[in-house]
C-alpha cells in the first residue's frame, strides 16, 4: 500500500511538470521580449496581447492585492492548456511562453467565486500570435 502510494505521488508530480514551460524563478533574458499584463478582480488588462509566431516571450503579470487568489492559464486555439501559474497577490508573476505557431490563444483565470468562474466574471483575454510578415494588432 505504501509503495502504491509513493508511485501514485510520483506520477502526480510528473504529471504536473509541463514539458514546455519551466517552473521556478523566471527572469527575462537580455533582449527577451516582455509582455506586461495587469490582473485583478475580475479583469486582465490589456485583454488582448499580440506576439510574433516562433518567438519566446516572458509575460509579467502584476496582480492587485486582494482577498481573491488568481491564476493565469494560457490555452491554445484547440483549448489545450499550454501554461498555468498561480499569481502572486500584490506582486509580479513571471511566466515564460514557448515559441508558438500563429493563431488565437486565450488566457484566463480558472479560480471561481460563488459558483462562477473568474473567467465568466471577465478574467479572460486573447493572445494573438501573428505569422511572420503579418501586421500585428
Ligand atoms: Cu481570478
Q: How is 60-104 classified by DSSP, letter by letter?
A: EEEE--SSS--EEEEE-TTS-EEEEEEPPTTSEEEEEEPP--SEE
Whole-angstrom distance, CA of residue 8 vs CA of residue 126: 36
- Determine the distance separating the centroid of ligand 1 and the alpha carbon of 132, expressed in angstroms: 33
- Determine the distance separating the centroid of ligand 1 and the alpha carbon of 32, expressed in angstroms: 27
pLDDT, position 108: 98
Give the predicted TM-score (pTM) of the model: 0.77
pLDDT, position 5: 54
Is the predicted pLDDT of residue 109 greater than 70, yes or no?
A: yes
Q: Which CATH class is domain 24-130?
A: mainly beta
- Determine the distance separating the centroid of ligand 1 and the alpha carbon of 8, expressed in angstroms: 30
- Determine the distance separating the centroid of ligand 1 and the alpha carbon of 5, expressed in angstroms: 32
C-alpha cell, 127? 493572445
98-127 mean pLDDT = 96
Amino acid at each position: 500500500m505504501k509503495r502504491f502510494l509513493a508511485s501514485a505521488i510520483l506520477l502526480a508530480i510528473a504529471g504536473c511538470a509541463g514539458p514546455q514551460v519551466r517552473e521556478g524563478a523566471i527572469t527575462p533574458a537580455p533582449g527577451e521580449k516582455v509582455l506586461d499584463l495587469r490582473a485583478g478582480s475580475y479583469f486582465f488588462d490589456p485583454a488582448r496581447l499580440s506576439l510574433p509566431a516562433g518567438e519566446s516571450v516572458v509575460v509579467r503579470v502584476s496582480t492587485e492585492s486582494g482577498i481573491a487568489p488568481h491564476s493565469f492559464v494560457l490555452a491554445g486555439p484547440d483549448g489545450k492548456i499550454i501554461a498555468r501559474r498561480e499569481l502572486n497577490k500584490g506582486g509580479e508573476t513571471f511566466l515564460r511562453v514557448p515559441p508558438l505557431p500563429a493563431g488565437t490563444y486565450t488566457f484566463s483565470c480558472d479560480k471561481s467565486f460563488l459558483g462562477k468562474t473568474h473567467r465568466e466574471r471577465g478574467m479572460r483575454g486573447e493572445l494573438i500570435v501573428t505569422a511572420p510578415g503579418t501586421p500585428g494588432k
